[in-house]
């Protein structure tokens, strides 16, 4: 009887170990898929943004640094140190994967006067590419500044490069 109970306990322990190993394997596969799939972009990125003429694509101002944080679930936080908008709120927005390392990013922020008076809303749309196994990305897109009534005050284009911020 003791041998029968010990045998059942042994088989149960063996089954638990197999289940744990299988669970870890599935978890590792999901993590690997996330790291090289849709969620590959999740994390913090240091950016360099180049404002450009939308027709000629020539630079219209010096490049400026920024930071983007892509969150799992599709939200993004942004801050750019653009001398053209030195007084502003941080940017918030959304991102989505278009597949094959292509992402669309949309965020907005509120530029202000030096006295802290809101001017309107600046909306940025970028399409970026992130190569598989890379920690660098490139993007290009547009921006539109509107007053709070929705009237366009200004617009333009930009390109950007980004490098993942790592420990």
Residue 90 CA: distances (Å) to CA of 40, 68, 112: 23, 10, 12
Write out the residue range of the structural domain in which residue 75 sits. 40-164
Are residues 30 and 66 part of one domain?
Answer: no
pLDDT at site 78: 98
**Angstrom distance (rounded) from CA 102 to CA 138:** 10
Are residues 87 and 139 part of one domain?
Answer: yes
Tens digit of pLDDT for each residue in 81-108? 999 999 999 999 999 999 999 999 999 9
Are residues 139 and 74 part of one domain?
Answer: yes
Residue 78, token pair as written in the block:
């942004």
Higher pLDDT, 1 or 74: 74
Question: Which residues are bridge partners to 67 per DSSP?
Answer: 46, 79
pLDDT at site 148: 97
* 42 band by pLDDT with thresholds 50, 70 and 90: very high
**Angstrom distance (rounded) from CA 13 to CA 68:** 47
Are residues 160 and 91 part of one domain?
Answer: yes
């Amino acid at each position: 009887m003791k041998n029968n109970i010990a045998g059942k306990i042994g088989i149960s322990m063996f089954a638990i170990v197999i289940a744990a190993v299988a669970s870890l394997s599935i978890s590792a596969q999901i993590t690997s898929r996330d790291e090289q799939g849709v969620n590959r972009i999740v994390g913090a990125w240091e950016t360099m943004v180049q404002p450009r003429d939308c027709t000629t694509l020539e630079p219209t101002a010096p490049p400026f640094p920024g930071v983007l944080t892509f969150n799992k679930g599709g939200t993004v936080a942004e801050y750019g140190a653009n001398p053209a908008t030195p007084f502003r709120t941080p940017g918030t927005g959304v991102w989505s994967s278009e597949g094959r390392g292509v992402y669309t990013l949309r965020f907005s922020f509120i530029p202000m006067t030096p006295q802290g008076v809101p001017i309107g809303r600046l909306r940025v749309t970028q399409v970026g590419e992130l190569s598989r196994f890379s920690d660098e990305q490139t993007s290009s897109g547009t921006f539109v500044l509107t007053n709070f009534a929705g009237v366009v005050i200004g617009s333009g284009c930009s390109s950007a490069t980004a490098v993942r911020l790592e420990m």
